Chains A and B, each alone.
Chain A
């Protein structure tokens, strides 16, 4: 199956700064990637669908100006958390869908904003 690499796996940043998270599909060309967020002891929530070469589609309640998504190539999507605040601390996971059958996930990025 597809191999998805996410970087960094762990980051601490100061409140007010921006953090970029990369999601790479290493062996599969992904026109679509998905970004999820998981708060402690809660389920994954889809934040946005990242489309190569076009604007991302954001789920209701997700601020597109705060969570900037860039999908510039078929193998790379980035999520930038702008002006991060402690309430943005979470586990962020990207995934790619291979056909309709299998979703492959990155290892996740734990963001802590202090």
Chain B
């Protein structure tokens, strides 16, 4: 079945870059997503990448996809305290999303 894994915790200083990693097992995934969840709130879609792409950049966010290794990463440049949240990667199976365990990003001043 599908399985998506992430490291649980990442701590960075304000202004540094953050890299959140994700591995998945379903090679038939069409799209891969990154979501941000702030405390008590629903998920906010940050960005997504189509499986035939290697990289996608959107302002401070860069997504890298290594399809051979089934590895996805999210880089946040110039990380701010407002970026502190839980970040979930997700991949599509057949119309449903399978989520990773979430990475808690803590940004310190």
Q: Which residues of A contact B (CB under 8 A)?
A: 1, 4, 6, 32, 34, 42-46, 49, 91, 93, 95, 97, 100-108, 110
Contacts and interface: CB of A to CB of B under 8 A. Distances in A.
B49 to A, nearest CB: 10
Interface stretch (B52-60, B63-71, B90-98): B90-98
Interface in B29-53: 30-31, 33, 35, 40-45, 48
Interface string B74-109: 000000000000001010100111111110000000
Across the A-B interface, the 3 shortest Cβ-Cβ residue pairs: A105-B42, A107-B42, A105-B43
A43 to B, nearest CB: 5
Given A44-B99, A46-B98, A93-B42, 8 more contacts: A6-B42, A43-B100, A43-B102, A100-B92, A102-B45, A102-B48, A105-B45, A106-B42
Interface of B: 30-31, 33, 35, 40-45, 48, 88, 90, 92, 95-102
Contact of A46 (B30, B40, B96, B101): B96
A106 B96 CA distance: 16
B29 to A, nearest CB: 11
A56 to B, nearest CB: 13
A57 B71 CA distance: 30
Nearest to B44: A105
A101 B48 contact: yes
Nearest to A97: B95
A9 B99 CA distance: 22
Nearest to A44: B99
Contact of A103 (B30, B33, B40, B101): B33
